[in-house]
Amino acid sequence: MAEDMQVRNFSPRTIDSYTYHVDRYAKHFGKDPEQLGPEDVRNFQLWMIREKKSSWSQFNQAVCGLRFFYSITCKREWVVSHIPFGHVPKKLPNVLGSDEVASLISCITHTKHLTVVIVLYAAGLRLSEALNLKLQDIDSARMQLKVVQGKGRKDRYVPISPRLLTALRIYWAKFRPTSFLFPGLTHDVPLNGAVIQKVVTLAAAKARINKHVTPHTLRHSYATGLLEAGVDLMAISKLLGHSSFKTTMVYLHYRMTKGTTSKPSKPFLVDNKELGREFRDLFLK
């Protein structure tokens, strides 16, 4: 199954996810999945919902894995009609204003962790994209950051502000990374994403932000801030690396819901002297 996905150029994360769920499916029944059928798939889905209390995202990942296994690897004709997807509830993302972002960042003391969080907010990157950045991905002459093989196996460029570039240079002068911009235990592997997830959660609690805050919240805040600052929605879609314009439309809906005539929040990409001074002060401590 893994080989079938490799020849179709599936990402390593997708391969890991699909094979994990099919392996769990096989272990649940204690049988080779080739010996199992539609009724077994249905019972497994009910087990995920009733016993494991799996999220709909996990549920649908399992469905994708099982559909691939039975339609491609084992070639069963009954697959599509007998393995239904779950309906994922549509929720608006939480976003932070510039004051909340400043409060969040003021609660992070480790320079490497702080720089990762700033990059997430200032460039609107996914956590995996930020952690896989390498030194050669920073083009200071053109003021661009290259995202290599982001979600959907696509490259893209995002602009970086002079303030963000300064922050990155201060970070580099202190840590001197040689390969990955944010290395983990060794220079040839990136920092573990769970570290930043924990850092953001703890910082949000210390800042007394009464919202569910994750690293991805900073990406949502970046996009919403650009929209409120008047940036074209299509341009935002390109900056975020969305494969479908419909994905970006959620920010328009959020803005309509939260619409106000007050001064919009500004992401780090936009000139914001007060916020930029706080960032710099944190780095110079």
Q: Which residues are catalytic?
A: 126, 151, 216, 219, 242, 251
Cβ atoms of residues 65 and 23 within 8 Å? no
Of the candidates 220, 219, 222, 224, the one whose C-alpha atom is nearest the C-alpha of residue 259 is 224
Q: Is 165 helix (H, G, I), strand (E, B) or coil?
A: helix
Element at 145 (helix H, strand E): strand 144-150
Q: What b-and-e string marks burial along 142-160, b requiring 16 or more CB atoms within 10 Å of the CB?
A: eebbbbeebeeeeebebeb
The helix/strand/coil state of 148 is strand
Q: Are 66 and 41 in contact (CB under 8 A)?
A: yes
Q: Cβ–Cβ contacts within 10 Å for residue 270, how many?
A: 18
For residue 9, report the phi and psi dihedrals to the nearest 5 degrees. Answer: 65, 40
Conformation bin of residue 95: beta by default, left when phi > 0, alpha when psi is -120 to 50 = beta
Strands of 138-139's sheet in order across: 138-139, 144-150, 154-159
